[in-house]
Amino acid sequence: VGVMGLGRGSLSIASQGYSSINGTFSYCLPSLNGNTGFLTFGSQQEQSGLVQFTPMLHNLTSPSYYFVDLIGLSVGGKMLPIAESVFRDVGTVLDTGTVVTYLPEAAYLALGREFDAWVRRYAASVSGFANLETCYDFGHLKEIKISKVALLFGGGVTLELPPTGILYYIGSSKYCLAFAATKETGEFSVIGNVQQRSTEVIYDLGRQMVGFVAGSC
């Protein structure tokens, strides 16, 4: 088992095979184990209205990463009071090798407070798990209902996360909010693979755009 390099570095498949794949590739990570995802190279026929594109940004200090313009978060349709500069000052990358999403502390705390206000109505909080701090026990419930969480990007893109992109199962009917605070001040944000699950993520290197198609696998 190896690692497939799809980054922006000169040795990656995306760079070396740029011409043969028409400068585009996409993937969809399955929402649950046992489900099927896909990896596609080359231009795909876009269905109008389904793909939301946001600019692909550059970062000179980390040139091999795919940066996107994350500008806000919403919970239950409510925009959180987080200045866009909180995200833009550090930058945000898409990374399938990272499990959960890491946010600047101010953004994480705002998200955690709003999400907790919804969930604590019917679920008890429990101690954290690893680096996840906002956790709950849903053991007494037959059905879990949680508030919607969405990521907002430059270009008017809103990516609403499915439930599997919001909660992370830690065992024994316990789940954690699948977000954490970055470890150091100034460290860039990372959108991990939990939040990317079930969404096709399209990398158009020629147009320098990243596209999202929710509910693709």
The residue type found at 29 is L
What is the per-residue pLDDT across 27-73, written as a single tens digit (0 to 9) for each? 999 987 778 899 999 876 555 568 999 999 988 888 889 999 999 99
pTM of the model: 0.91
**What is the spatial distance between Cα 200 and Cα 38, in angstroms, rounded to a whole number?**
9
Q: If you count them, how many residues does the chain have?
A: 217
What is the per-residue pLDDT across 127-185, written as a single tens digit (0 to 9) for each? 888 889 999 998 888 887 788 999 999 999 999 999 899 999 998 889 999 999 998 88
Residue reference for tokens 């019917």: 122
Dihedral, 94, 42, 36, 161 alpha carbons, nearest 10 = 40
For residue 1, pLDDT over 50 is answered with no
**What is the spatial distance between Cα 173 and Cα 128, in angstroms, rounded to a whole number?**
14
DSSP state of 80: P
